[in-house]
Amino acid sequence: VGCLYIVPTPIGNLADMSERALQVLAEVDLIAAEDTRHSGQLLQHFALHKPMFALHEHNERQRAATLISKLQEGQSIALVSDAGTPLISDPGYVIVQACREAGIRVVPLPGACALITALSAAGLPTDRFCFEGFLPAKPQQRRNALNALKVEPRTLVFYESPHRIVATLADLGQCFGAERHVVLARELTKQYETFLVGSVAEVAAKLAADPNQQRGEMVIVVAGAQAQTNAEQELNQALQTVQLLRAELP
Ligand code: SAM
């Protein structure tokens, strides 16, 4: 029986391709990719020539059955997505689940992932966090989803498309309050990597002032509700202390 390798690819900077990822891609019999043309270019860059197999989100179930029989025949297969770690807001869950059910070994390689990259530099609590993937594209559904997360105490991480970032920040302000702290991580690992940091209102103003900041790939990291409440509590306590001291002073 073959084995399924989960192989992360860079999220922008090709130098982030790991040595082990290259080694596995060079050794497997087949590479299952979200978009064979896109991944084909990456393989070409690394001078790898391998048979490829398309695995989109919409045909994953049907294609998974074919991959399972190939694995059972003894082929080893690497799963890649367009960028970053497969299965993270990308296809792969169905095939991994099918492998688990069929008793086929799944070997994950660690590597680039936009959510972890953004979180590691956001400066918000990382001891616990909550990855929400993409918010719904429809405004009402998006606001419903945000309202359900309003009191979530963990740091929140979202993926967002540049087409919706302005609308999503407006909804964040409406649902979480314009003062909630947010970090917008853009174009990670690329030439124009940028972190926009501040309240939702401040980051929204930065985007409005410079349309270039609305472009590219982005991750939104939002302070959890509890973190803010704690900070507010501390501030209020400090203010009360100051007031007490003032009353005592001549
Ligand atoms: N599997 C990928 C991963 O491990 O990060 C995520 C795939 S998801 C379809 C694509 C989204 O990831 C983008 O819309 C963006 O939110 C985020 N993303 C990917 N690359 C990024 C980058 N270089 N900078 C910021 N965000 C990125």
ipTM of the complex: 0.99
User: Contact at 8 Å (CB) between 79 and 4?
Assistant: yes
Q: What is the pLDDT of residue 247?
A: 84
Pocket of ligand 1 (CB under 6 A): 11-12, 81, 83-85, 88-90, 113-115, 159-161, 185, 187-190, 217-219
Q: What is the pLDDT of residue 58?
A: 82
Q: Which atom of ligand 1 is nearest to the CA of 86?
A: 1
Q: What is the 3-state secondary structure (H, E, C) of 209-240?
A: HCHHHHCCCEEEEECCHHHHHHHHHHHHHHHH
CA of 83 to the centre of ligand 1 (A): 7
Measured CA to CA, the distance from residue 171 to residue 150 in angstroms comes to 11
Local mean pLDDT, 10-residue blocks, the chain (250 residues): 97 97 98 95 96 88 93 98 97 96 98 98 97 97 96 97 97 96 98 97 96 96 79 78 85
pTM of model > 0.80: yes
Q: Which atom of ligand 1 is nearest to the CA of 112?
A: 4
- For residue 187, which amino acid is it? E
CA of 159 to the centre of ligand 1 (A): 7
Tracing tokens 């970053």 back to the chain, one arrives at 84
User: Contact at 8 Å (CB) between 148 and 182?
Assistant: no
Q: Which atom of ligand 1 is nearest to the CA of 81?
A: 1
**CA–centroid distance for 148 within its chain:** 20
Q: What is the pLDDT of residue 88?
A: 98
Q: Which atom of ligand 1 is nearest to the CA of 114?
A: 5
User: Contact at 8 Å (CB) between 171 and 146?
Assistant: yes
